[in-house]
Structure 1
Amino acid sequence: MAPSKARPTRSQLLFLADLAGEAGRHEDVIKQIKLIIELFDAQLTIDERNLLSIAYKNITNVLRNSWRTVDNIEKSQSSRQAMMPKQHILTRRQRQRIERELTNTCKDIVLLLDRQLLPAAKQGEEAVFYSKMKGDYYRYLAEFSQKKDRDRFADLSLNAYKLAYKHALTTLHPIHPTRLGLALNFAVFYHDVKKSPDRACHLAKSAFDDAILSLDSSDPTLDPVLRDSLTILQILRDDLILWSAEMQNTN
Structure 2
Amino acid sequence: MARVLIAGCGDIGCRLGVNLAKKGHEVFGIRRDTSKITSPIQPIEADLFGQLPELPDQLDYVFYIVSAKSYNDVAYYKAYVMGLKHLIDALKDQPIKHLFFISSSSVFSQSEGERVTEESPAEGKNFSSRRLLEGEELALTAPFPGTVIRFGGIYGPGRTYLIDLVLQGKAHCMEDVYSNRIHSEDCVGLLEHLMEQPDLDPVYIGVDDEPTLTCEVYEWLAEQLSVSNIEHLEPTENSRALRSNKRLSNAKIKATGYTFKYPSYREGYLELLESM
Higher helix share: 1
Q: Which has the larger radius of gyration?
A: 1
TM-score (norm 1): 0.29
RCO higher in 1 or 2 (8 Å CA, sep ≥ 6)?
2
Whichever structure has more strand as a proportion of its residues is 2
What TM-score do the two structures reach when normalised by structure 2?
Answer: 0.27
